[in-house]
Amino acid sequence: MGKDNKMLAGIVPIEIWRKMLRVGNSLDIDKGGMYDSRSGAINVWASPEDKPAGWEHVTIDKGALDYPRSIVGTISWEPTAQLVDEKWEDAAKIFFDICPYERWRVEKREICAEKTILESEVEWMTEKALFLLLVASKELDPPGGIFCRFCDAYVKVTLFNEFIDHLVEIHNVDVKSVILGDRFIIETGTGTIEV
């Protein structure tokens, strides 16, 4: 696969794509996240702890960034339409454009034909995109919100991610990871919270 290969990854309703951009923004690399969606596409970055298989020899440094990150690729989109219940609705074609510059540099891949991508990089990108998609599609009802055990009350949030921000910013919870399923499980430094 050449370096200019843009892969169609799927089609999602336009509102979901917009929410994915917002989720990417709240998980920005400047805040310790793995994304940046400032340009209207979503760049996906690897960290020393979370990188594609086959990157064992790639050292990920901070460089000019706030956290050590190295770009793996970009999730971009094109407008399209989707037939839903016999009506055409605005949708987004989602593409992956994988450009693992730092791995190519380490492997001294200088000419275009040498700049190939790994299957593990496609899998890793898919995982990262799927995470955004799942958080984006789990939109919560504003009236109820999510029950916060620390406030002992419901917190009004539109996106699940805003609840994570709430835990981190208001209660100083050390959020390690979020496991998505029928229910969300938040792993923290001091135990798990089920939502």
Binding window for Zn ion (CB under 5 A); candidates: 5-13, 45-53, 97-105, 149-157: 149-157
HSE (CB half, 13 Å, CA atoms) of 15?
5
Q: At what angle do helices 14-26 and 119-137 cross, to 10 degrees?
A: 100
- SS3 label, residue 177: strand
Site for Zn ion contains 154 (CB under 5 A)? no
Span interacting with Zn ion, options 49-57, 89-97, 134-142, 147-155, rule CB under 5 A: 147-155
- Is 147 near Zn ion (CB under 5 A)? no
Choose, by CB under 5 A, the member of 39, 150, 179, 185 that binds Zn ion.
150
Determine, following the binding rule CB under 5 A, whether residue 157 of this chain makes contact with Zn ion: no
97-118 exposure pattern, b = at least 16 Cβ within 10 A, e = fewer: bbbbebbbeeeebeeeeebebb
Q: Shortest approach of Zn ion to residue 80 CB, angstroms?
A: 40
What minimum distance in Å lies between the beta carbon of 148 and Zn ion?
A: 3
Residue 163 Cβ vs Zn ion, minimum distance, rounded to whole Å = 9
Measured torsion, CA atoms of residues 27, 32, 38, 43, in degrees rounded to the nearest 10? -90
Amino acid at 18: R
Shortest approach of Zn ion to residue 140 CB, angstroms?
15
Which of 171/176 has CB closer to Zn ion? 171
List residues bridging with 87 in a β-sheet.
84
Give the residues lining the site for Zn ion (CB under 5 A). 148, 150-151
